Amino acid sequence: MDLAEAYVSQHVALVRPVETEITPYLLLWTISPAHGRAKLTNDACGAGKPGLNLDNIREMAVALPPLAEQHEIVRRVDALFALADKIEARVTAATARVEKITQAILAKAFRGELVPTEAELARVEGRDYEPASVLLERIRAERGDGSDESGAKSRRVSRSQSNKTKGSQR
C-alpha cells in the first residue's frame, strides 16, 4: 500500500491512501476484528500503553480485492449496519412495551384482577362463602366486647380519653 502521507503522534495516526476510492473499504478492513484490528494489535509494541510506529503502518499489508468487489463489500456492510440499527430500535421499543406490560400486570395483580376471588370460586363450586367483613363481625359478636384480641380498640379509646384529660388540665 502506498501512502501519500502519514503522521504518528504517540497514539494517534493519520493515514491518507493515495487511491482515495479505497478509503471506505480500508476503513472497514481496519476496524474488522478478524483483519485490521487483529493485525494492528499484534504489531503494537510497548508494555504499559502499546502503540504502533510509522514503520508498522507503512509495512502493513492489506489484501485489496478489485475495486468493484470493494464497493460491493462496503455496500453490503452498510446494509447490514442499517439492518442492525433497525433491529436495535425494535428491541428498544419492545423493551419499553415489556416494561409497560409488566407494570400493568403488577397493577392488576395488586387489584386482584388476575385470579378469581374466593367469592367467585365459591359461586362456581356451589359452596358457601363468608366474606371477611362478616367473619370479623361474627368474631366480635362472639367476644361480646367489640374489640379485637389484642385490645387495640380499648387502648385507642383510653389514649383519646387521656388526651382529653390532659387538654382540660392545661
**Predicted confidence (pLDDT) per residue in 94-110, tens digit:** 999 999 999 999 999 88
Whether 64 has a pLDDT exceeding 60, the answer reads: yes
Contact 70, 9 (CB under 8 A): no
Evaluate whether 29 touches 62 at the Cβ level (below 8 Å): yes
What is the reported pTM? 0.54
- pLDDT grade for 119, boundaries at 50, 70 and 90: confident
> What residue type is assigned to position 47 of the chain?
A
**Chain segment 29-50, per-residue pLDDT in tens:** 988 988 888 888 888 887 788 8
CB 153 within 8 A of CB 147: yes
